[in-house]
Amino acid sequence: MTLIFLNGGGMRGGPLHGQLQGAPMLGRVKSAPKYRYFSVRDEFPAMHASGTAQVVGELYDLPLTVLRDHLIPAEPAELEIGVVELEDGGAALATVLRNEFLRSSDLKDISHLGDWTSYLQR
């Protein structure tokens, strides 16, 4: 089991939530204020440790086999697994933007919102 911070399609109601195979949600949390947050082609969010924004997400206790067999295969090529800092100073796995995509024209900075659900409801 591992902690994973989800901030996009894997959250409740999102198109990837079923990939969690019923893993328990531990609660809604925020990241530490050290990220940039992007919309990638208006399809999914991506966070990168190069800013000062907090990102809203959900924390799950996920079996590593579910991460390996279900969640990672469903993620887009722009994202990779990384470790993020949470608001309380704790750490969790998360999907983060690969460095090589940081200058992509497909990115729209939504750090001022820090919340994928709020961005979709705009």
Instruction: Please report the pLDDT score of residue 46 as a whole number.
Output: 98
Q: What is the pLDDT of residues 11-41, one digit of tens each?
A: 999 999 999 999 999 999 999 999 999 999 9
The predicted model scores a pTM of 0.94
Instruction: Please report the pLDDT score of residue 11 as a whole number.
Output: 96
| Contact indicator for 101, 78 with CB cutoff of 8 Å | yes
Instruction: Please report the pLDDT score of residue 122 as a whole number.
Output: 86
d(CA 87, CA 43): 26
What are the tokens at 37?
């947050």
What is the chain's mean pLDDT, rounded?
96
Q: What is the pLDDT of residues 64-104, one digit of tens each?
A: 999 999 999 989 999 999 999 999 999 999 999 999 999 99
CB atoms within 10 A of CB 80: 14
What are the tokens at 63?
């079996």
Q: Dihedral (C-alpha) 116, 122, 53, 76: value to the nearest 10 degrees?
A: 30
| Contact indicator for 35, 51 with CB cutoff of 8 Å | yes
Output DSSP code: residue 86: B
60 Cα distance to chain centroid: 12
